[in-house]
Amino acid sequence: METTFSAIKADVGSVAGHHVVPEELEESAISVLEEAKGKDIFDYFVTHCGDDLELIITHDKGEESEEVYEIAWNAFLKATEKAKELGLYGAGQDLLSDAFSGNIKGLGPGIAEMEFKERKSNPVFTFMMDKTEPGAFNLPMYKIFADPFNTAGLVLDPNMHSGFVFEVWDIKESKKINFYCPDDLYDMLALIGAKSRYVIKRAYPKEDNPKANPQEPAAVISTEKLSHIAGEYVGKDDPVAVVRGQSGLPAAGEILEPFTHPELVSGWMKGSHNGPLMPVPVEDAAPTRFDGPPRAICLGFQVKDGMLIGPVDSFADPAFDKAREKAHQVSDYMRAHGPFEPHRLPEEEMEYTTLPDVMEKINHRFEDMD
């Protein structure tokens, strides 16, 4: 059975600033998806990560389905209407058009989706982040699919021993390149360490993996950058990712392990600061300290005949408590820098925030030096 798993998100309004999506908005989205269930889609789940409304949808329409995208768009629109009715902050912020044009891409929402042939057992993990950018997934995806110190299966499992293929996008030049790891590992690291420009879009099994179809991605990440779409800063990109596991792919524990390290990511307040990525349960995905620090949640599902079993709130495990404590310590250290780098982003990245408005105000006061 061919199943498409789509994770689609948008910031359409939140309570008390950029903090949390209220239940009323989730209920509005659910009403649209419930009407489509059993007719146009198999199943769905609605949640939030911070101020982002998250839609998880299964169907048999394949990737980039106009029909499914329109359903998601209508769900976001109905939630936006409720947000405006309640006077919520940033109502409809990520919807950059008033009308659906056949493809939700380029209209603001972030999308990560994959089509795969269902196996006997299909664990699928959906990661959602708030107050950061798509490149925040670069380090975890590298660890999951290329680092044997994280993923023992790369050494011990003959099905994974030859490694994985990474599709990396240059989101500044709109180009892409495939890296065949471990052979191309150092070349890939030379790029993906610059995570504001080069982002991992997909990871595939290699051809000689007998248990996993090399045509079906093992992971896919949303790569939409709102600043490039809108031409101005309208919020950080808050990416989502979908990762399949087990049976020729990394095990569940190997998929989750990278998040025990609260890596520094770009985003936080006004999308203009570096801070630690804190893995949290859904109930704690309400970033308020300096509008942060950046958060990550993960929901684990089983997919059977297109239906969703679960989810498991993967980061609710107390084993991630130390990562959260470390993120608190790193937050204190970074915040002590105030408006100075490296807490504040470097100037070339600040051009996508509100800093250019400040520079325009004072540019006329610059004088040539003798």
Compute the distance between CA of residue 299 and CA of residue 282 in angstroms, rounded to an integer.
Answer: 9
Alpha-carbon separation of residue 151 from 144, 161, 364 (angstroms):
6, 11, 55
250 or 93, higher pLDDT? 250
CB 90 within 8 A of CB 11: yes
- Examine the pLDDT at 154 and tell me if it is beyond 60: yes
Provide the 3-class DSSP secondary structure of residue 153: helix
229 or 297, higher pLDDT? 297
Question: What is the rounded average pLDDT for all residues in the chain?
Answer: 93
**pLDDT confidence bin for 2, thresholds 50/70/90:** very high
**pLDDT confidence bin for 227, thresholds 50/70/90:** very low
Catalytic residue among 61, 131, 236, 270: 236
Alpha-carbon separation of residue 271 from 22, 132, 189, 247 (angstroms):
22, 7, 24, 38
Q: Which residues of 282-313 are buried (b: 16+ CB within 10 A; e: fewer)?
A: beebbbeebbbbbbbbbbbbebeebebeebbb
* pLDDT value, residue 233: 46
Compute the distance between CA of residue 55 and CA of residue 10 in angstroms, rounded to an integer.
Answer: 9
Calculate ∠ Cα 85-236-300, nearest 5°: 85
325 or 95, higher pLDDT? 325
What contacts 308, CB < 8 A, 6 or more positions away?
43, 44, 45, 56, 58, 301, 302
Q: Is 89 a catalytic residue?
A: no
Compute the distance between CA of residue 248 and CA of residue 161 in angstroms, rounded to an integer.
Answer: 10
- Examine the pLDDT at 229 and tell me if it is beyond 50: no
Q: Are strands 219-221 and 198-205 parallel, antiparallel or unpaired?
A: antiparallel
- pLDDT tens figures, 32-70: 999 999 999 999 999 999 999 999 999 999 999 999 999
- pLDDT tens figures, 115-128: 999 999 999 999 99
Indicate yes or no: pTM above 0.85: yes
- pLDDT tens figures, 174-212: 899 999 999 999 999 999 999 999 999 999 999 999 899
Q: Is 236 a catalytic residue?
A: yes
- pLDDT tens figures, 261-270: 999 999 999 8
Which burial class, exposed, middle or buried, applies to 46 when counting CB atoms under 10 A from its CB (0-12, 13-18, 19+)? buried
Q: Is 322 a catalytic residue?
A: no
Look up residue 331 and give its amino acid. S
Averaged over 253-259, what is the pLDDT? 98
**pLDDT confidence bin for 101, thresholds 50/70/90:** low
Catalytic residue among 69, 204, 233, 352: 233
Residue recorded with tokens 């690291």? 189
Compute the distance between CA of residue 303 and CA of residue 300 in angstroms, rounded to an integer.
Answer: 10
- pLDDT tens figures, 300-337: 999 999 999 999 999 999 999 999 999 999 999 999 99
* pLDDT value, residue 234: 46
Q: C-alpha 271: how far from its chain's center?
A: 15
* pLDDT value, residue 106: 67
User: What helix, strand, coil percent values describe the chain, rounded to 5?
Assistant: 30, 30, 40
Catalytic residue among 9, 11, 201, 225: 11
* pLDDT value, residue 324: 98
Express as a percent the part of the chain with pLDDT over 70. Answer: 94
Averaged over 289-308, what is the pLDDT? 98
CB 247 within 8 A of CB 121: yes
Compute the distance between CA of residue 208 and CA of residue 160 in angstroms, rounded to an integer.
Answer: 9
**pLDDT confidence bin for 357, thresholds 50/70/90:** confident
